[in-house]
Amino acid sequence: MILVFPAFLLYTLIQAISGISVSPGATIRHAALFAGCAAVLLAARRAVLLLRRRAWLAALPLLIVGVAQAAIGIRQHSFGDDEIHVRGTFHNRNHFAGFLEMALPLAAGWVVVFARRVDPRAGGGVRAALGAGACAAAALVIVLGIVYSLSRAAFGAAVVGMVALGTGLLPRRVRLPGAVVLAATVVLGLAWLAPALLFDRFGRLAGETQRVWLWRETVEMIRERPLVGWGFGAYGTALVARRGPLPDFPDVYAHNDYLQLAAELGVVGLLLLGAATLPAARDVLRAAAGDRDRNRTVLALACLAGMAALATHSLVDFQLYVPANLLSFAWLAGTACGVSASLPETASAASTASR
């Protein structure tokens, strides 16, 4: 994986200097951002290995920022019913909600960790109960921030994240029915907390055609340059060059990160990106599949759930092109990779291989 990262960066630089990219400056900026994500992933992985039994502390910064952002959003909601207000410190409510949907499983996972320590016969039972209550309160604040944002995609993505976390904690024999019950419970809970304006926005889905038009245009762009793409980060410039000014689109993105990446990178770039990221994805899944009784495995599950939520949201938005959300996504991936590297079976395998 470490060797493939430079290969992908080299490919993007070749796009920029060879004339493949229609916006070389944007391509170089996005290559630098990708390099930053790699550094964040490795830093998070190292932090978990150093923290060892306190690995959950690696998730604390994201949780604290998530609660703070949600509190700002709730405060904005209290100013009135104008839906544009609730976005925290983000420019866009969807990206604000995207950050929160990554933090929500961390709060819920920490509730599980503290709840396991609650034992009336032990001296730390009261402290653990208070910790579980505080984390439950944090989760509620984050949920309110999500529903008050009125982001429809965030509503669905939050359901995906919480169901992924809850299902991973269940025994395998009951995961399928458990997932159905969890999904229904989470949907009903979010619906009960959601303001009426959110349901009004769901009712307007059928009349919105801008995203569909963008997806069709993006598919045409992929067909025109299937091998090397239009340049990493150059989607907006390429679309405007093909179709002229687009006054109806304040943000020229495909509103589907996977289609946009395919248009920008082409087959060659996608293969390199996959080779660079699949080993990390493998480690994340290995960590999440560990012993459910280990607190570190719960941490990995929470990270995977947060990543699944943002990945779901990215089907209809450009979450992975928002630096704050992309770097947070990388931190979650690195945290889970650190858990994978610290598991006894992984450590023993590495020891055997080194002999």
Q: 298-350: per-residue pLDDT in tens?
A: 999 999 999 999 999 999 999 999 999 999 999 999 999 999 888 765 444 44
Question: pLDDT per residue over 140-164, tens digit each?
Answer: 999 999 999 999 999 999 999 999 9
Contact in structure between 25 and 290 (CB atoms under 8 Å): no
Mean pLDDT of 257-265: 97
Contacts 24+ apart (CB under 8 A), 48-53: 48/334, 48/335, 48/337, 48/338, 48/339, 48/341, 48/342, 49/338, 49/341, 49/342, 52/342
Token pair for 323 = 């630096």
Buried b (16+ CB within 10 A) or exposed e, 63-78: bebbbebbbbbbebbe
Handedness of CA 244, 250, 252, 258 (dihedral sign): negative
pLDDT of residue 347: 46
With 50 as the cut, is the pLDDT of residue 120 above it?
Answer: yes
CA distance 91 to 97: 11
Q: Which two tokens stand for residue 214?
A: 């963008």
Look up residue 286 and give its two tokens. Answer: 């290995």
Using pLDDT thresholds of 50, 70 and 90, give the confidence band for residue 354. very low
Cα separation of 45 and 332, whole Å? Answer: 9
Digit-coded pLDDT (tens) for 83-94: 557 899 999 999
User: How far from 277 is each of 37, 274, 340, 344, CA to CA, in Å?
Assistant: 11, 5, 15, 23
**Whole-number Å distance between alpha carbons of 28 and 40:** 18
| pLDDT score recorded for residue 171 | 84
Tell me which residue of 312, 274, 232, 316 sits closest to 33, measured CA to CA.
232
Q: Binning pLDDT at 50, 70 and 90, where does residue 355 land?
A: very low
pLDDT(193) > 80: yes
User: Whole-model pTM?
Assistant: 0.90
Q: What is the mean pLDDT of the chain?
A: 88
Q: What span, in angstroms and rounded, lies between the C-alpha atoms of 156 and 309?
A: 8
Residue 111 above 80 pLDDT?
Answer: yes
Nearest Cα to Cα of residue 100 among 146, 43, 159 = 146
The stretch 180-199 carries a mean pLDDT of 87
Query: What is the average pLDDT across 170-199?
Result: 86
Provide the pLDDT for residue 125: 76
Q: Which two tokens stand for residue 59?
A: 């998730």
> Is pLDDT larger for residue 348 or for residue 47?
47
User: How far is CA 126 from its chain centroid?
Assistant: 33
Cα 336-176-183 angle, rounded to 5 deg: 75
Lowest mean pLDDT among 77-91, 165-179, 214-228, 246-260: 77-91
pLDDT of residue 253: 92
Give the DSSP letter string of 180-247: HHHHHHHHHHHHHHS-HHHHHHHHTGGG--HHHHHHHHHHHHHHHSTTT-S-TT-HHHHHHHHH---T
pLDDT surpassing 90 at residue 257: yes
Band of the pLDDT at 1, cuts 50, 70, 90?
A: low
Distance CA 105, CA 302 (A): 5
